[in-house]
Amino acid sequence: MKLFCPECKNNINVDDPSEIEEGSIIECNTCGVTLEVTSINGERVDLEVIDEGK
Ligand SMILES: [Zn+2]
């Protein structure tokens, strides 16, 4: 599973991929934005920025 931050385009490390599902809230560890998982299609995970952080 590969997650890319739509804000900074960096790869996001996921400690436990089994916890990633539609509606999951994760944080980009590079730029700090809060992201919601909007859809999952196999290896492709779409993320939406819901909080731009600081
Ligand atoms: Zn980011």
Give distance in angstroms: CA of 46 to centre of ligand 1: 13
Residues 6+ apart with CB under 8 A from 19: none
Residues 6+ apart with CB under 8 A from 25: 34, 35, 36, 37, 50
Architecture of 1-54 per CATH? Single Sheet (2.20)
Confidence class of residue 23 from pLDDT cuts 50, 70 and 90? very high
- Residue type at 6 in one-letter notation: P
Give distance in angstroms: CA of 5 to centre of ligand 1: 5
Give distance in angstroms: CA of 4 to centre of ligand 1: 8
| Whole-number Å distance between alpha carbons of 46 and 12 | 12
Give distance in angstroms: CA of 54 to centre of ligand 1: 12
Could you tell me the pTM of the whole model? Answer: 0.85
Residue 1 has pLDDT above 90, yes or no: no
| Whole-number Å distance between alpha carbons of 54 and 42 | 32
User: What's the rounded mean pLDDT across residues 21-28?
Assistant: 95
Give distance in angstroms: CA of 30 to centre of ligand 1: 5
Domains of the chain, by residue range, sit at 1-54
